[in-house]
Structures are given as C-alpha cells and as structure tokens.
C-alpha cells in the first residue's frame, strides 16, 4: 500500500531519512512547475527544487500537520522563489536606471507587434513572460499561486505570511498589470 | 445600477467572488464585456506552460538531495544545541579565531608552507569548509524566521541566541575574506552580519508586526539567496583538487 505523506513524515521524524524519498518523488514535479512559473528559467527552477526540499527537511520539526505536506512544501518553495526573484530584480535594478513605467511606455510606443500579428503568429507567447517579469516578486508569487496552482486567497496569504486582504490585493495588482500589458494583444478575440 | 469593480471581476473569475457578482454579470452588458476582456487575458496566461521534466526526474532530485540528508539535520541541530554550552561555545570561538589568525599570518608572512604546519592550500581548504559551515548555520536561522507561520506573538529567543553566537565568527571570516581580496564573500558576510545583529538585538518576544518587520527585512535584502549562491561557490571550490603551490584567495 502506498505510504501517505503523514506516514512518511512520521518515519523521517523517527530518524529514517530515507522515507523522505517518498515525499521527494511525489512532490518534486509540482514544485518544479511552481518554481519554473516563478522564475521563468529551467535551471533556476531545478535549483529551487533542491533548495526547497533541503529547507523542508531541515524544518520538518516545525511542520505541525495542520496543512497538507504539499501545501506546506509549496509555502517553502514560494519563499525560496521569492528570495531568488527579489535578488535577481535588485541586480537588474542596479544595472539599469530605466524605471518600469518608462519601459512600458517605451514598449507601447515602439514597433511592437500589432494585435493581429501577435494573435495569429504565436508571438503572444513571447509577451507572457515579459509581462510576468514586470510584476513585483510578491505580485508574481501571489498570481502564480492563484492562477496556476489554484490556491485560494487565504492559502496564498498563509504562504506569503500576510493577511488575506494583502494577498488579495497582490493578486489583484498582478492581474491589473497583466491586463494592461496584454489586453491590446488579446483584444482581437483570440484567447 | 452599481457596476462591478475590477477586483470583484478578478475574484469572480477565480470562483471566489460573491454570488451576486455572477447574477449581476447576467444582466449588465458593460460588466460582462469587461469580464470577457479580463477572461481573455487570463486565458492567454494559461499558454505559459512549464516544461515537463524528463522521465526519471524525481530520482535525480533524490540522488542529488540524499547525500545531504544522511544525518538527520534536525536531530543533528538539536543535539548540537545541547552540546554547545557557553564554555564550549567560547572554546569553539577561540579555535575559530586562532584559525583565522593563523590564516592571516600565513598570508602576510609569505611563508605558506611552514605556518602552523599547514600548507597554504590546506589552510585555505579548512577556511572554505569553516565559512561554508558558518553560512549554513546562519542560513538555518534566517530560514526558520522567514518560514515561521505563527500568526500571534513569536518567541525568537533561540534564534536570537544563535545569531549572537554567529556574529563574532562572522566578523572574523569577513575580515579574512576582505584581507584576501574576496569581495564577493566579504560583501555577503557584511550583509549577513547586519542581519544577524538585527536578530541578535531584537527583543526575545515579538508581536506579529515586529516579527513581520524582521521577516520583511530578511526577504527584502535577498540575503538567503546570496548565502545560497556563495555557499554553492565555496562548495565548488572545496571540490577542486588541492594545488601544490600557493592557493587562491578565500
């Protein structure tokens, strides 16, 4: 019979580190997907998977079992990803003095593909990642957890360590920014 | 008629909106048009797919992870906590100081082969391991603080004590790195020192707002990520074979 997450956790706490393999094998793909959507980079995502499982193992004594192990693991993965994208964003900010609003305006004024070309040539795909990159780290995390992972606002709040109202606001701000960036491109009627 | 706010449309899209929002959309053309436009954008986001890891991915993750888990870190840490009495801590700190002093002395005197009976590369290897361990211990404290999901008052007396213990050690390693021109390591150790000091000087019991400020500070500085990167670089350097001549900077 397949071992449950709770049983595996109990075994690890009893000193059987090998029992962690069950949890790694069960959750590594979903953690990878989350990490990829947070970072947009496969190598970073793979590193984050390692980092997440290592942190989770070290903090297992703090896991109280109130949330499912997967949810708890996602919180750690989200925090690991936040660390990474914040550090990356700061580096980018140091490299360029151009502010985000300015970039948006410049992009709008430049010869970006027209809606028609985008909708029918698959170039829309190329706009999605840059649009996500314009979100703040917290907005991106909140959006990824809501949109791709299907977490409710309350769970997102717990994952980010903020009140539900703040989590809701982050999701809302993220959607607002994405809408501003992508609406012209998708307004041709092709979702 | 009161129209739906954009926030209400977003919540409705994700199935978390009020029931009346759905009813309103049935009868209000303007809100329905706005909702459909929002829907198009969010459906477009579905196209951003994550690549599926190749077959056997889970096994590879485990294989990379397993060597670090052979000894239960949690048990190791609690056992270490019990072992580190104030007297032992003082001894450990003194040994670390001696090690750093020997390292620096060796650098300055240019007599790398003779100092303390250790060759330069061997001494540097010891330093790499020591700094790596130090970063790992610091990281554990910060990770525990960041991932503490408590909603009420938080007792950080344990983390505070551990941070205090690490500050002096951190200062020595930072000076050694600076002396040897390793700006990357010294800069991260400098940031780490400020974070450790902040934790060490915080009250033992924090209300949720105070605790949130500490966490925000840790997160805003991205120090955990930097520690991870430097730690990973140090491990890489530990794995390189020992050179017979003089070694590279810490």
| Structure-model confidence comparison of residues B39 and A98, the more confident one | B39
CA distance A43 to A173: 28
Residues of chain A with CATH 1.10.1740.10: 1-97
On whether the CB atoms of residues A56 and A104 are closer than 8 A, the answer is no
Residues of chain A with CATH 1.10.10.10: 98-191
**Dihedral over alpha carbons A46, A126, A100, A34 (to 10 degrees):** -30
Q: Does A164 touch chain B (CB under 8 A)?
A: no
Q: What is the pLDDT of residues A41-95, one digit of tens each?
A: 898 999 999 999 999 998 888 888 888 899 889 989 998 988 888 777 766 666 6
CA distance A102 to chain B (A): 22
The distance from CA B65 to its chain's CA centroid, rounded to whole angstroms, is 17
On whether the CB atoms of residues A64 and A6 are closer than 8 A, the answer is no
Q: Does B79 touch chain A (CB under 8 A)?
A: no
On whether the CB atoms of residues B221 and A83 are closer than 8 A, the answer is no
ipTM at complex level: 0.77
Residue A54 to residue B7, Cβ atoms within 8 A: no
Question: What pLDDT score was predicted for residue B118?
Answer: 54
**Average confidence (pLDDT) over B31-53:** 90
> CA B235, B237, B243: angle at the middle one, nearest 5?
145
CA distance A173 to A188: 24
Overall fold of domain A98-191: Arc Repressor Mutant, subunit A (1.10.10)
On whether the CB atoms of residues B120 and B106 are closer than 8 A, the answer is yes
A15's tokens: 């000193």
**Average confidence (pLDDT) over B121-125:** 68
**Sign of the four-CA dihedral B35, B41, B47, B48:** negative
pLDDT reading at A152 higher than 50: yes
User: B164: alpha, beta or left, given left = phi > 0 and alpha = psi -120 to 50?
Assistant: alpha
Question: What pLDDT score was predicted for residue B245?
Answer: 44
**Dihedral over alpha carbons B81, B83, B85, B89 (to 10 degrees):** -90
Place of tokens 């990356």: A88
Helices (H) and strands (E) in chain B, counts: 11, 2
Question: What pLDDT score was predicted for residue A33?
Answer: 93
Task: Encode A39-54 in three state secondary structure.
Answer: HCCHHHHHHHHHHHHH
A92's tokens: 């980018």
pLDDT reading at A34 higher than 50: yes
Confidence of residue B109 (pLDDT cuts 50, 70, 90): low
| Structure-model confidence comparison of residues A140 and B86, the more confident one | A140
Overall fold of domain A1-97: Rna Polymerase Sigma Factor; Chain: A (1.10.1740)
B144's tokens: 């525990």
Show the beta-strand stretches assigned E in chain B.
154-155, 205-206
pLDDT reading at A144 higher than 70: yes
CA distance A172 to A176: 6
- Would you tell me how many other CB atoms lie within 10 Å of the CB of residue A183? 15
Q: Does A144 touch chain B (CB under 8 A)?
A: no
| Structure-model confidence comparison of residues A13 and B242, the more confident one | A13
Indicate the domain borders of chain B.
6-45, 74-239
CA distance B240 to B134: 20
Q: Does B209 touch chain A (CB under 8 A)?
A: no
CA distance B13 to B36: 10
- Would you tell me how many other CB atoms lie within 10 Å of the CB of residue B150? 12
pLDDT reading at B96 higher than 70: no
* This prediction's pTM: 0.55
**Average confidence (pLDDT) over B181-199:** 86
Residue A50 to residue B61, Cβ atoms within 8 A: yes
Q: Does B37 touch chain A (CB under 8 A)?
A: yes
On whether the CB atoms of residues B180 and B249 are closer than 8 A, the answer is yes
Q: How many CB pairs under 8 A join A and B?
A: 148
A93's tokens: 């900010």
CA distance B135 to chain A (A): 14
Under DSSP, is residue B138 helix (H, G, I), strand (E, B) or coil?
helix
Which residue of A13, A55, A175 is in closest CB contact with B143? A55
pLDDT reading at B88 higher than 70: no
Phi, psi of A50 (to 5 degrees): -60, -50
On whether the CB atoms of residues B13 and B42 are closer than 8 A, the answer is yes
Q: What is the pLDDT of residues A85-133, one digit of tens each?
A: 877 776 666 666 445 544 544 444 343 444 444 444 456 667 888 898 8
Question: What pLDDT score was predicted for residue B68?
Answer: 75
| Residue of B4, B149, B235 to mutate, interface with A, max A Cβ within 10 Å | B149
pLDDT reading at B121 higher than 70: no
């Amino acid at each position: 019979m397949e071992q449950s997450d709770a049983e595996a956790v109990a075994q690890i706490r009893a000193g059987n580190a090998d029992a962690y393999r069950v949890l790694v094998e069960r959750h590594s793909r979903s953690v990878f997907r989350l990490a990829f959507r947070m970072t947009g980079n496969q190598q970073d995502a793979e590193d984050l998977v390692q980092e997440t499982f290592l942190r989770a193992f070290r903090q297992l004594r703090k896991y109280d079992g109130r949330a499912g192990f997967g949810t708890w693991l996602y919180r750690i993965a989200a925090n690991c990803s936040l660390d990474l994208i914040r550090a990356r964003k700061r580096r980018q900010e140091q490299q360029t003095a151009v502010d985000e609003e300015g970039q948006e305006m410049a992009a709008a004024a430049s010869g970006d593909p027209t809606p028609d070309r985008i909708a029918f040539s698959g170039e829309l795909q190329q706009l999605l990642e840059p649009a996500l990159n314009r979100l703040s780290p917290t907005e991106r995390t909140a959006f990824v957890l809501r949109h791709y992972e299907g977490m409710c606002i309350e769970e997102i709040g717990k994952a980010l360590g903020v009140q539900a109202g703040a989590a809701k606001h982050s999701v809302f701000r993220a959607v607002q920014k994405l809408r501003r960036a992508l609406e012209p491109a998708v307004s041709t009627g092709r979702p | 008629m009161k129209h739906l706010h954009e926030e209400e449309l977003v919540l409705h899209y994700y199935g978390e909106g009020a029931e009346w929002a759905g009813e309103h959309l049935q009868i209000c053309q303007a809100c329905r048009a706005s909702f459909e436009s929002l829907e198009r954008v969010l459906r477009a986001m579905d196209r951003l797919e994550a690549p599926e890891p190749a077959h056997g991915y889970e096994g590879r993750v485990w294989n990379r992870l397993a060597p670090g888990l052979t000894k239960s870190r949690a048990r190791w840490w609690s056992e270490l906590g019990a072992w580190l009495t104030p007297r032992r801590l003082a001894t450990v700190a003194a040994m670390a100081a001696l090690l750093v002093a020997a390292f620096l002395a060796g650098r300055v005197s240019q007599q790398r082969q003779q100092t303390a009976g250790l060759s330069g590369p061997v001494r540097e290897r010891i330093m790499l391991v020591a700094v790596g361990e130090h970063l790992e211990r610091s990281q554990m404290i910060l990770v525990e603080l960041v991932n503490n999901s408590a909603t009420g008052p938080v007792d950080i007396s344990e983390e505070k004590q551990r941070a205090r213990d690490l500050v002096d050690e951190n200062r020595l390693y930072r000076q050694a790195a600076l002396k040897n021109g390793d700006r990357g390591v010294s800069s991260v150790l400098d940031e780490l020192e400020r974070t450790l000091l902040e934790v060490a000087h915080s009250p033992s019991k924090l209300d949720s707002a105070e605790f949130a400020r500490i966490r925000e500070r840790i997160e805003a500085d991205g120090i955990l990520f930097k520690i991870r990167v430097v730690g990973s670089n140090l491990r890489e350097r530990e794995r390189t074979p020992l050179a017979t001549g003089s070694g590279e900077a810490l």
